[in-house]
């Protein structure tokens, strides 16, 4: 019995110790992966569906053929679990990994991402969209984002994608025929360069959906909050994200505009119906004429939808002289682990450069419907005028809307884009909290106005901003 007790005590001690070992911080060997024969092995982790991962593997293989001394172990994750996996590996990150722009600040401010400025010349970067590259500058001395004299470059853009209005052309033609509308008059409103005002858009939606979705076809699936807020010259907070601005009339009027699409015009499904079928599903299922899409949606749309569609700039408030069509623009970066050895950093940067601005790789990406090219020249020429005939007759024909939105220019100078608000803040949960507040207040059902909902949430939102600034030492 004594022996048994002794055995048990030893077992408990060893298990307790192993638990400590398991939870202890990992020590990275700075030279791990630098092979004695001069070759280097790096780990690259990204996300995407099976097709996207296969495309990436193909490009990674091509990169390895061109760089025989570098072995890339590429791993893909589903988008929904990617950030959780990455966070669990925060102390042992892959050498190269994706970083969504809205999580960038938290990761870079905590020192997990390497400053890779010294690996680039200004000339190299000048070929890329400056809006995209500038997103990944950060100054650790001030904890501020954006390009400045003291800021370093902490990532290369994987892409830059505007989330613009899209319409189902096939379904629109059916609605025009069904309600005996003037086709020319309607198509005249759908300009790729001259965005509609909110007022015009509401009129159009009521024309094509006069029965409030009774025929299971709504005018629009949902409305992007940031597209409305930005297109009414409003914002969630001031320039340095220190003071909330949701009590500004421009802000809550934008929210009210969205609510009224259901409450007043009845051209958008109720909040309850939007929960059971989201905008993406409804658009793909031809349950609405208008919705929103980004360039990354093309790959899936080309495979699965059997109708014609095209994109448009997002509408803006025509009654606000300061307002212009402004879509949100999302980006993701290629970042290098702060703990990567010199040889691995060099290899990782080389791969990031290849994926970010190698002409062949960029052509492959847009051919596969994954993004607008990062290289400005390629986007403005090859991509728009189809000189390489890579896109054939693929939708959407008005790809110029995406390029204009990134560029912030068009014939009428009314089309632009702006980075998502969450990019500027230390964490993103305030956005979910805000939208949850609007739902629980039943603002979308008309129980309170947008003004009441925003004003009642303002102090909580300010507390969020204060907490996030405190995390940044502000």
For another protein, the binding residues in 67-86 under the rule CB under 8 A are 84
Is residue 19 at the binding interface for another protein, with CB under 8 A as the rule? yes
What does the DSSP assignment read for 270-309?
Answer: -HHHHHHS-HHHHHHTTSEEEEEE-GGGHHHHHHH--S-E
Which region, judged by CB under 8 A, interacts with another protein, from 63-71, 106-114, 366-374, 414-422? Answer: 106-114
Is residue 30 at the binding interface for another protein, with CB under 8 A as the rule? no
Q: Contact with another protein (CB under 8 A): which of 433, 447, 452, 470?
A: 433
396 upstream amide cis, omega within 30 of 0: yes
Q: Is 122 left (phi over 0), alpha (psi -120 to 50) or beta?
A: alpha
Say whether 44 sits in a helix, a strand or coil. Answer: strand
Identify which of residues 3 and 303 has a Cβ nearer to another protein in the complex.
3
Q: Which has the closest alpha carbon to 452: 157, 253, 180, 192? A: 253
Note the residue count of the chain.
Answer: 474
Is residue 427 at the binding interface for another protein, with CB under 8 A as the rule? yes
Q: Which residues of 317-355 are buried (b: 16+ CB within 10 A; e: fewer)?
A: beebeebbbbbbbbbbbbbbbbbbbebbbbbbbbbbbbb
Residue window 344-383: x/- pattern of binding to another protein, with contact defined by CB under 8 A: ----------------------------------------
Q: How many residues touch another protein (CB under 8 A)?
A: 39
Instruction: Take residue 231 and report the two structure tokens written for it.
Output: 């297109």
CA distance 234 to 244: 11
For another protein, the binding residues in 243-302 under the rule CB under 8 A are 269-273, 275-277
Is residue 112 at the binding interface for another protein, with CB under 8 A as the rule? yes
Is residue 236 at the binding interface for another protein, with CB under 8 A as the rule? no
CA distance 183 to 15: 75
Is residue 15 at the binding interface for another protein, with CB under 8 A as the rule? yes
In angstroms, give the least distance from the CB of 13 to another protein: 11
CA distance 371 to 385: 16
Contacts of 350 (CB under 8 A, 6+ apart): 67, 70
Is residue 429 at the binding interface for another protein, with CB under 8 A as the rule? yes
In angstroms, give the least distance from the CB of 91 to another protein: 6
In angstroms, give the least distance from the CB of 138 to another protein: 14
- Residue numbers at the binding site for another protein (CB under 8 A): 1, 4, 11-12, 15-16, 18-19, 22-23, 25, 84, 87, 90-91, 106-107, 110-112, 269-273, 275-277, 427, 429, 433, 436, 439-440, 459-460, 463-464, 467
């Amino acid at each position: 019995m004594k022996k048994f007790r002794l055995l048990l005590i030893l077992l408990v001690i060893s298990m307790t110790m192993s638990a400590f070992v398991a939870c202890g911080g990992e020590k990275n060997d700075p030279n791990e992966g630098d092979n004695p024969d001069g070759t280097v092995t790096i780990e690259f982790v990204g996300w995407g569906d099976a097709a996207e991962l296969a495309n990436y593997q193909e490009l990674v293989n091509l990169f390895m053929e061109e760089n025989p001394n570098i072995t890339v172990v590429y791993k893909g994750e589903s988008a929904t679990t990617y950030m959780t996996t990455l966070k669990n590996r925060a102390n042992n990150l892959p050498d190269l990994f994706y970083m969504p722009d809205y999580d960038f600040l938290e990761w870079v401010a905590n020192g997990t991402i390497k400053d890779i400025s010294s690996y680039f010349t200004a000339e190299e970067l000048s070929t890329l969209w400056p809006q995209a590259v500038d997103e990944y500058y950060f100054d650790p001395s001030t904890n501020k984002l954006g390009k400045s004299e003291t800021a370093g470059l902490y990532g290369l853009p994987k892409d830059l994608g505007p989330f613009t209005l899209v319409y189902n052309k096939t379904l629109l033609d059916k609605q025009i025929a069904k309600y005996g509308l003037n086709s020319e008059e309607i198509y005249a409103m759908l300009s790729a360069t001259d965005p509609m005002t909110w007022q015009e858009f509401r009129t159009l939606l009521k024309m094509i959906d006069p029965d409030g979705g009774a025929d299971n076809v709504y005018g629009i699936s949902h409305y992007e909050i940031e597209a409305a807020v930005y297109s009414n010259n409003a914002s969630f907070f001031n320039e340095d994200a220190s003071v909330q601005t949701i009590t500004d009339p421009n802000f809550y009027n934008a929210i009210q505009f969205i609510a009224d699409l259901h409450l007043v015009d009845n051209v958008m499904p109720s909040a309850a119906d939007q929960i059971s079928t989201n905008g993406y599903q409804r658009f793909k299922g031809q349950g609405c004429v208008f919705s929103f899409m980004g360039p990354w949606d093309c790959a899936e749309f080309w495979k699965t939808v059997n109708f014609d569609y095209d994109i448009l700039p997002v509408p803006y408030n025509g009654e606000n002289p300061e307002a212009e069509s402004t879509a949100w623009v999302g980006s993701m970066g290629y970042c290098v682990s702060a703990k990567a050895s010199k040889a691995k950093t060099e290899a990782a940067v080389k791969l990031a450069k290849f994926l970010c601005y190698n002409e062949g790789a960029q052509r492959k990406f847009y051919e596969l419907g994954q993004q607008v090219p990062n290289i400005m020249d390629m986007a403005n020429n090859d991509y728009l005028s189809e000189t390489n005939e890579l896109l054939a007759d693929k939708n959407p024909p008005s790809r110029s809307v995406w390029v204009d939105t990134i560029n912030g220019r068009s014939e009428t100078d009314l089309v632009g884009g702006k980075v998502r608000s969450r990019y500027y803040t230390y964490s993103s949960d305030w956005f979910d909290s805000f939208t949850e507040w609007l739902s629980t207040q039943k603002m979308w059902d008309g129980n309170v106005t947008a003004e009441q909902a925003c004003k009642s949430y303002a102090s909580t939102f300010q507390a969020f901003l204060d907490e996030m600034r405190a995390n940044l030492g502000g």
